[in-house]
Copies of this chain bind each other. A is one copy, B any other.
Amino acid sequence: MEKIEKKRLESLRKAMAEHGIDCCIINSTDPHQSEIPPAHWRGREWLTGFKSENGTNGVAVVTKDKAYVWTDNRFFIQARQQLDGTGFEMMPMDGPEAVDLVEYVAEMMPKDSIVAVDGITFSSTEAENMRNAFEEADLNFTTDFPMFDFIWPERPSQPLNPLFVHDEEIVGETVDSKIGRILKEVEKEGADAILMSALDDIAWATNLRSAGDVAYSPVFPAYLYLDKKGNRIIFIKGEKLSDEVREFLNKYKIEVREYDEVTGFAGAIAPDTCVLIDPELTAVVIAEAIPTAIEGGKGVAKLKSVKNETMLSHWRTAMEKDGAALVRFFKWIDDEFPKGKLTEMSIARKLRECRLADPDCVDESFAAIVGWNGHGAIVHYEPTDETDVPVTGQGLLLIDSGGQYCQGTTDITRTIALGGEPTKEQKHDFTLVLKGMIALARATFPKGTRGAQLDILARQFLWNEGKAYYHGTGHGVGFFINCHEGPAQIRMNDIPAVLEPGMVMSDEPGLYIEDKYGIRCENMLAVEHWKTNEFGDFYRWRNLTLFPFDKTLIEWEIMTAEEKQWLSAYHQEVFDRLSPLLSPAEAAWLSQKL
């Protein structure tokens, strides 16, 4: 392993010398700024050997004699291990020792050096930042160095999985209607056209999906151009399109062009056509090719985040399927645990198997977190062959997972006790977290409320005892697209997006006792209109997720009558809606859990 990595770094340095480049900065994402890029765009990983979760956590810098990878505190230990012997050194992007990559490069490089990136992998915003800083330091900056074209012979191809139509009976809105609404946003922002780069926005707008291009999300690499004259063009690898999908595109008058033609197309747009782009999501080389561009375009993400009643009614089905799969899964744990053979990895494999048994579930919606005792206290823990432990003895098992059903994406966390009576401390902490989850789920609030205003409802019982968790309480969830979706969030820092009817959010407070256990309770909730009166419009939450909470972990003495009532009604609904999908043995298991 060691030798291979060093050879790769040497080949990059050779290519840099041939192109007269003194420093090159290698991003970890793809031309669409995807959180999880396809294999074709994992060149930084290939080069350095460091496997980070997503693009923002592994930017590399290479000069003639130095090589670094920047990452965040979740990956410090892992990065140091994986980079050992590769010639790369780890740099912290956060924490007390944080080093700013751009400032560091600006200071390190001698005047007149040439700093290069592959401009298709950096957003316009990022590249502008770099250009300004480097020009101030008298460095030359170029976005024209596609390094992996020169040094990665066995590079995987662009993903070529076939597209399929996301049934409009399920989506509840035609592509025409969506494009009409997008163009209204475009007009509002004073533009004539829009060039969309974000894969989830494009999948949403076209009612198309694919499986396998990108892990955990049924999106596919493409660009979408729409203008007010009626031009609708998708840029995509032709191999991905079946006759059925071509017909569907044809029906909506969406012209197909090759994926790689987008930059050339952008450069040829008439200068009197003002094109809206999102500078944080559009590659700098594309953004700069457009003769007349204006920045904005956040409105599309907002449209996507508001789900219609058809979607929500299908989401009910997805939740029933998911709940039934989880009954099979957690019953299996109960059956297997006494045998003493379970490990975190075997549990994660079984979980995936239970979900994917349903043909409507095309993938998990993210890498499942299965954390036993101390591992549960590591917030972003994902078991691997290296970290796997047997799940035996007494303790708490935290499982955060979800599925990509064509009827809706799911995301649920349950924490269960195994191996006998939980401790008083475990029960008390679990109950504080559960009370917080219930308080947020029961909240009602006026129009205009932001997530940060509601956030304390989920934290208050912990704070009252001087305990706390420091991650967000809730994120938006996509409809058979990305499990993490903007713009609204429920967290301590303020996000200006307000909560609107149809938005679907997670509700997931937790508590993490280092080396001991982690607790998290998570349901998904949809905002719905509640009432309108002299004080304004009021909203409330509609619960979506269906699976019981572990009652052996509840300290009943600190639950209020309202909380107990909420829980008992919830468990009754879980049973009523899941039992028709279960075998008698499964239903019997579930009824015991209520």
Contacts and interface: CB of A to CB of B under 8 A. Distances in A.
Interface of A: 443-446, 448-450, 452-457, 460, 463-464, 466-468, 492, 494, 514, 530-531, 533-536, 538
Contacts of A534: 514
Given A464-B444, A533-B466, A453 B538 contact: no
A492 B453 contact: yes
A533 B452 CA distance: 25
A538 B466 contact: yes
B514 A466 contact: no
Contacts of A463: 443-446, 538
Contacts of A531: 466
Nearest to A492: B453
A467 B444 CA distance: 10
B494 A452 contact: yes
Given A445-B456, A448-B492, A494-B494, 13 more contacts: A443-B463, A444-B463, A446-B463, A446-B468, A449-B492, A450-B494, A453-B456, A454-B456, A466-B530, A466-B535, A466-B538, A468-B538, A514-B534
Nearest to A536: B468
Contacts of A538: 463, 466, 468
Contacts of A494: 450, 452, 494
A426 B468 CA distance: 38
B453 A466 contact: no
A314 to B, nearest CB: 30
A444 B452 CA distance: 17
18 contacts: A443-B460, A444-B466, A446-B463, A450-B494, A452-B452, A452-B453, A453-B455, A453-B456, A453-B492, A466-B530, A466-B531, A466-B533, A466-B535, A466-B538, A468-B535, A468-B536, A494-B494, A514-B534
A55 to B, nearest CB: 28
A565 to B, nearest CB: 14
Contacts of A446: 463, 468
A449 to B, nearest CB: 8
Contact of A456 (B456, B468, B514, B536): B456
Contacts of A443: 460, 463
A523 to B, nearest CB: 19
Nearest to A511: B535
Contacts of A449: 492
Contacts of A460: 443, 457
Contacts of A444: 463-464, 466
A481 to B, nearest CB: 29
A309 to B, nearest CB: 22
A100 to B, nearest CB: 19
Contacts of A468: 446, 535-536, 538
